[in-house]
Amino acid sequence: MKQFILFMMLASTLGACAQSNKESSKKNAITENGSITPIQLSPEEWKAKLTSEEYYVLREQGTERAFTGKYWDNKEKGTYLCAACQLPLFQSKTKFKSGSGWPSFYEPINDTNVATEKDTSLGMVRTEVHCARCGGHLGHVFLDGPKPTGLRYCINSVSLSFEKEE
């Protein structure tokens, strides 16, 4: 999976560039054949675009402290987007209260926008969740979620932005 992501990121240098406008960014995220158009920026470009906490979590696989993120207890209806590239990731209707202190969802918007890979850091085996477009670290997915999927996508609030439903 890492090789595929690396290949996609390298391929993106030929034509993909970050979009500053949210609407333009979302519209250009998925190609006609349904695949994601990757974004690749240098560490310096990401540092200029993101806050220090966003950079720590999204680019260095960090974790915010439990019960401190702005969305862990958000009950508004809408869509959760990647904070780095604005790709839609989760919908509020799939959010549930897990008691973990991080926003938890039982499924992503689709199987294209969210990617996973094995994470063996910290002496344990987990499944890391990241944005399929920019590669930003979002959190982890666990097998202790509610029906219908039984999954718990445990996501850092700082990895997300929120678009309220009108």
List residues with catalytic annotation: 154
Which pair of structure tokens corresponds to residue 67? Answer: 């019960």
23: phi then psi, degrees, rounded to nearest 5: -65, -45
Residues 20, 73, 104, 75, CA torsion sign: negative
Which pair of structure tokens corresponds to residue 114? Answer: 């969210």
**What is the amino acid identity at position 85?**
C
Give the closest residue to 79 by CA, choosing from 46, 126, 113. 113
